[in-house]
């Protein structure tokens, strides 16, 4: 297996683990979010009155900003994958070189 392939495999595995983590967190929020939102809205309307609904409207209004930030973050992540692949490839080459030096005892004492 070449160094470049090993670097890509390591990068794919780390990306997959991160994606699985994000799915688990998102699933919990998707299931519990509406329940908590409904109970919170009822409680805040009870405590502050119906004017509190104006304050709660700020959250849906901020979704376009969050969407733009998420899109920019995804673009930056795609660009960083190539840099990470190169870094892992060079690190793997360096470790193989050190192993080679140790194997033939070419280091000075």
What residue spans define the domains of the chain? 3-104
How far is 109 from 106, CA to CA, in rounded Å?
Answer: 9
So what's the pLDDT on residue 39?
Answer: 93
Mean pLDDT over the full length of the chain: 87
Cβ-contact 84, 11 below 8 angstroms: yes
Q: pTM of the full predicted structure? A: 0.42
Above 60 in pLDDT, residue 55? yes
pLDDT of residue 2: 65
| Helix boundaries (H) for the chain | 3-48, 52-56, 58-61, 63-104
63-104 vs 3-48: helix axis angle to the nearest 10? 150
Distance CA 18, CA 37 (A): 27
């Amino acid at each position: 297996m070449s160094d470049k392939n090993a670097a890509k495999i390591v990068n794919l595995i780390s990306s997959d683990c991160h994606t699985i983590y994000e799915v688990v967190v998102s699933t919990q929020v998707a299931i519990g979010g509406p329940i908590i939102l409904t109970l919170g809205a009822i409680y805040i309307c009870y405590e502050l009155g119906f004017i509190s609904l104006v304050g709660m409207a700020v959250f849906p209004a901020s979704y376009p900003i969050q969407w733009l930030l998420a899109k920019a973050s995804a673009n930056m992540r795609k660009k960083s994958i190539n840099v990470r692949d190169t870094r892992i490839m060079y690190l793997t080459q360096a470790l193989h070189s050190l192993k080679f030096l140790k194997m033939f005892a070419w280091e000075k004492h």
